[in-house]
Amino acid sequence: MVDRITLQVARYRPDQETEPVLQSYEVPLRKEWAVLDGLNYIKDQLDGTLSYRWSCRMGICGSCGMTINGEPQLSCATFLTDYAPGPVRVEPLRNFPVIRDLVVEIDDFMRKLTKVKPWLIREEDEPLEDGEYLQTPSEMDDYRKYSMCINCMLCYSACPVYALDPEFIGPAAIALAQRYNLDSRDEGAEDRRDVLASAEGVWACTFVGECSTACPKGVDPAGAIQRYKLTAATRSLKDFLLPWRAR
Amino acid sequence: MTTAPRLYRKPISTFWWLRRRSYFVFVLRELSSVFVAWFVVYLLFLVTAVSSGTAEYERFLNWSAGPWVLALNAITLVFVLLHAVTWFNLAPRAIVVRVRSWRVPPVLILALHYLLWGLLSAIVLWVVLR
């Protein structure tokens, strides 16, 4: 006989409910099954109306972030056996509006992401025939950690500052801005400064640190934010002391 | 015709900060700024008392020895320590120093902060007790 475990899944069907309700499903408990496999079993075998996002099943696409037993997790990287004998509570990511069941609206994050210009900015591109922009391993180490971000938004879900002040640019967007600011090939730090050094930027963060705890890729957004605070403060001081050199 | 979906926004509980230890510490740290401000005010009282002569200074000392002021200052000390320790824990994350290609280890940056704190405290103690 196959062991089974109960998943208590938050259901929100806007045409039927005014707020989410928990619905229980029994799924097989297999040692290689993640919570996402349990949800796929429900979708395929028990209830085809359940809605949730997923794609790669291997912690790369960042689509399947959910609140599992109260913690923000990637459902593809969270194994059912770790919660045996259950039940396992599966809810949508906190701090985001819920569209349906486990699907949240991510427009706010997408808007903020583009605001920090997360791409290489060059004042002038080198001629193509000069070849690629070279970088030493040590230069790459400066930003490599931040480049691991998969935009899963678990950090936003864990952040109480974002919950209280939705204008906060947020952990992942700032970490990604730092990913480019610290890249030796990038020249866009000044372009990102107005957004990052604003009240809704790094200064809104009060270093709770939960974003770094929640991050499944070891990005350390809290560290990125604190580091930029020092950069922003140093630059403001320089602008004050050497106004003729300011932008 | 399509209509925008009716989104569900979960209200934030008044006691959200009791849900996790890290949230609770965060709220305590935010609160600690009030106590830091009180120590600044207390220091200004002390400076005023010292500059106003012996009688005024004696009066300040008597007032400070009162149970309420003593209790308030003891609580303030605990909060200021929390403020300082959490601030120091943040420092190595914010300060990334490279000497040529060698990155100064975070633990060394933290140790230097505590060393400087100890040194300054020792100087203050020496000034007060000498």
State how far the Cα of B75 lies from the Cα of B66, in Å rounded to an integer.
Answer: 14
Total residue length of chain A: 247
What are the extents of the domains in chain B? 18-76
**pLDDT of B94 over the 90 cut:** no
Does A99 contact B29 at a Cβ distance shorter than 8 Å?
no
**By CB neighbour count within 10 A (0-12 exposed, 13-18 middle, 19+ buried), where does A42 fall?**
buried
SS (H, E, C) chain B: CCCCCCCECCCCCCCHHHCCHHHHHHHHHHHHHHHHHHHHHHHHHHHHHHHCCHHHHHHHHHHHCCHHHHHHHHHHHHHHHHHHHHHHHHHHHHCCCEECCEECCHHHHHHHHHHHHHHHHHHHHHHHHC
Largest CA distance in chain A: 78
Residue B64, token pair as written in the block: 């400070």
**By CB neighbour count within 10 A (0-12 exposed, 13-18 middle, 19+ buried), where does B42 fall?**
middle
Name residues whose C-beta falls within 8 Å of residue B63's C-beta, 6 or more positions apart in sequence: B69
Residue A88, token pair as written in the block: 């396992």
Which of A5-14, B2-11, B22-31 shows the highest mean pLDDT?
A5-14
State how far the Cα of A97 lies from the Cα of A103, in Å rounded to an integer.
Answer: 9
Does B90 contact A100 at a Cβ distance shorter than 8 Å?
no
Name residues whose C-beta falls within 8 Å of residue A133's C-beta, 6 or more positions apart in sequence: A126, A184, A185
The nearest alpha carbon in chain B to A222 belongs to: B93
**Do the Cβ atoms of A9 and A25 come closer than 8 Å?**
yes
State how far the Cα of B69 lies from the Cα of A190, in Å rounded to an integer.
Answer: 49
Nearest Cβ partner for B8 among A98, A163, A210? A98
Cα dist. A174→A111, A152, A212 in Å? 13, 14, 13
Spatial CA neighbour of A152 closest among A222, A220, A60, A36: A60
The nearest alpha carbon in chain B to A202 belongs to: B94
Question: How confident is the prediction for chain A on average, in pLDDT?
Answer: 93
Cβ contacts of A163 on chain B, cutoff 8 Å: 12, 16
pLDDT for residue A228: 94
| Chain A residues within 8 angstroms (CB to CB) of chain B | 12, 14, 18-20, 70, 94, 97-100, 105, 138, 160, 163-164, 206-210, 213, 220, 222-223, 226-227, 229-230
State how far the Cα of A218 lies from the Cα of A144, in Å rounded to an integer.
Answer: 11
pLDDT digits (tens, 9 = 90+) for A54-95: 999 999 999 999 999 999 999 999 999 999 888 999 999 999
Q: Is the alpha carbon torsion for A22, A23, A24, A27 positive or negative? A: negative
Nearest Cβ partner for A97 among B9, B12, B96? B9
Q: Cβ of B99 under 8 Å from any chain A Cβ?
A: no
Residue A177's pLDDT band (cuts 50, 70, 90): very high
Does A14 contact B6 at a Cβ distance shorter than 8 Å?
yes
Does B7 contact A160 at a Cβ distance shorter than 8 Å?
no
Does A213 contact B22 at a Cβ distance shorter than 8 Å?
yes
**Do the Cβ atoms of A192 and A203 come closer than 8 Å?**
no
Cβ contacts of B86 on chain A, cutoff 8 Å: 207
Nearest-CA distance from A215 to chain B in Å? Answer: 15
User: How wide is the angle at C-alpha A216 spanned by C-alphas A212 and A220, nearest 5°?
Assistant: 25
User: How wide is the angle at C-alpha A152 spanned by C-alphas A149 and A154, nearest 5°?
Assistant: 105
**pLDDT of B12 over the 80 cut:** yes
Cβ contacts of A229 on chain B, cutoff 8 Å: 94
**Do the Cβ atoms of A189 and A181 come closer than 8 Å?**
yes
Q: Cβ of B93 under 8 Å from any chain A Cβ?
A: yes
State how far the Cα of B6 lies from the Cα of B14, in Å rounded to an integer.
Answer: 24
* DSSP type of residue A34: B
Nearest Cβ partner for B12 among A163, A207, A208? A163
Cβ contacts of A174 on chain B, cutoff 8 Å: none
pLDDT digits (tens, 9 = 90+) for A185-237: 999 999 999 999 999 999 999 888 899 999 999 999 999 999 999 999 998 89
pLDDT for residue A1: 53
Residue B1's pLDDT band (cuts 50, 70, 90): low
Residue A72, token pair as written in the block: 């923000």
